Structure 1
């Protein structure tokens, strides 16, 4: 069992971010989902340990407003594509040169934005819980979470948004910072996916339709492998199948 280590670094604008490290070997940077964190997506359910056992050092960022990272309230801490810039700051700060990159949901979206725009150049890419709608129609998803934040305590149990509200509450999400963060994420022109030339794993739950069609996304990527695992969007990360699918695709480091 590898020892989990947590350290902190300053992003491009001085915002303090948390990085969780597990294992030793080839670097794999993993990015978590919206209003989740590294602990919830990668560590708690054993995915990071499973991958580390294959000979990887798993580097798991807590985005700003998430986990153990800072959640500033100043509007100027939220420029366009700020999470892409946070991921790039991680790579630069630690001098990581030859690495693989992966993400789930928002983390997958951020990874695709970074690669499609030429900001990051991993050798291999893992895209979890993401489809074409989550890239090209993000504004619809963002509008849902804006309403959750704005109507937080007034959302009735019968409203589908109630489950999102409960998740934010369980994570202790700073709603002021979260509201600012939602405005930083533009849609991605799907034509830019042609720039994602490295081998890519698209992995998604068999009941997960939260971000549209993952199979359609895989078809748009130049060099992709599609894998299906059990579960819904929220449920698939709690099952060992997700970690196994990633580890098996990566193979021994």
Structure 2
């Protein structure tokens, strides 16, 4: 992991793979990966096989630890966080690396950040994938207070809320700074309205696990965005969907203009 300065915040990032030529001799856009809450590059993208998968497909892969996460600087004030601000970290990383335009994959919180990047800087986003976040991108996530309190608790043994306990356990598993994560989840959650979603100009793929109650329906979000494609990963919840093989194959088809597996299956049934 390398480091760069994002307007005074040290951000750790990975830049791997050189990319290859696509059809017609043009170079494939790099892929920018934005991880979810309490995760990091290694957990979200390395251990799930995404980095190797995209490299083998001929892509340059750029991924970064969001502020307050992984190897990036830990900040403890509410004003240090929020998806629009974190989207600017992503944009500054593209600037730092001299990347004019990239495919973007965001997962969970990373999908919200990717949405704000696509809204604020449409010229920098080629295709965008919202993973692990469907209609709840617009509806918002309720009940973040218990999660913040779980992160602030002296011990996980003091946490009784099952969902909040899951977040605390995951944060401990990733060796996260619990105070930084609590500030991140307590920070102002800038809304994404249906109208804002509809104005995203980049091609959009929404991918959510079939049993993912955190993300909500992929199809419902896709309906709000002109031309968006939606897929579901059968039998997968929020945590297990991220490394799904179908998810990877669908993203590759989306980037390269091929037919989605779900579309192919539907045509075969007819």
Fold in common (TM above 0.5): yes
Alpha-carbon RMSD across the aligned residues, in angstroms, is 2.2
Q: Does 1:245 align with 2:250?
A: yes
Which string of whole-angstrom CA distances, capped at 9 and with x for unpartnered residues, describes residues 64-117 of structure 1? 111111113356544773211211211222221122111111111111122224
| Distance (Å, rounded) in 2 between the aligned partners of 1:220 and 1:67 | 33
CA contact (8 A) 1:62 1:69 kept: yes
1:226-237 matched pairs, under 5 angstroms: 226-230=230-234, 231-237=236-242
Match of 2:151 among 121, 140, 149: 149
Specify which of 1, 21, 34 is matched with residue 31 of structure 1: 34
1:129 is matched with 132
Kindly state the Cα deviation for residue 57 of structure 1 after the two structures are TM-superposed: 0.4
What's the counterpart of residue 228 of structure 2?
A: 224
TM superposition shift of 1:236 = 0.9
1:59 to 55, 58, 62: 62
CA–CA separation in structure 2 for the residues paired with 1:133 and 1:101: 19
Q: 1:152 to 1:141 in 2, by over 3 A?
A: farther
TM-score by length of 2: 0.82
Mapped partners of 2:107, 2:79: distance in 1: 26
Question: For 1:21, which of 15, 18, 28 is the aligned residue?
Answer: 15
The answer to whether residue 200 in structure 2 is matched with residue 196 in structure 1 is yes
Q: Which runs of 5+ in 2 are unaligned?
A: 20-28, 258-270
Q: Secondary structure, in 3 states, of the residue corresponding to 2:166? A: helix
Partners of 2:100 and 2:124 within 8 A in 1 = no
Residue from 2, 6, 10 that aligns with 1:7? 2
Deviation at 1:150, TM superposition (A): 3.4
Judge conservation of contact 2:33–2:104 (CA < 8 Å) in 1.
yes
The alignment covers a number of residue pairs equal to 244
Supply the distance in 1 between the matched residues of 2:72 and 2:91 (Cα, whole angstroms).
Answer: 16
CA, structure 1 residues 74+208, in 2 after alignment: closer, same or farther (shift >3 Å)? closer
Alignment partners' CA distance in 2, 1:16 and 1:147:
27
- The alpha-carbon distance between structure 1 residues 117 and 136, as it changes in their structure 2 partners (threshold 3 A), is farther
3-state DSSP of counterpart to 1:241: helix
Deviation track 1:128-156 (CA, whole Å, cap 9, x = no partner) reads 01122233323x25334223223462113
CA contact (8 A) 2:134 2:221 kept: yes
Normalized against structure 1, the TM-score is what?
0.87
SS at match of 2:201: coil
Q: Distance in 2 between matches of 1:251 and 1:119?
A: 19
1:179–1:119 CA distance, 2 compared to 1 (3 A): farther
How far apart in 1 are the matches of 2:208 and 2:248? 12
Q: How big is the shift at 1:238?
A: 3.5
Which residue of 169, 174, 179 corresponds with 1:176? Answer: 179
Distance in 1 between the 2:36 and 2:82 partners? 19
Distance in 2, matches of 1:106 and 1:120, equals 22
The answer as to whether partners of 2:101 and 2:123 remain within 8 angstroms in 1 is no
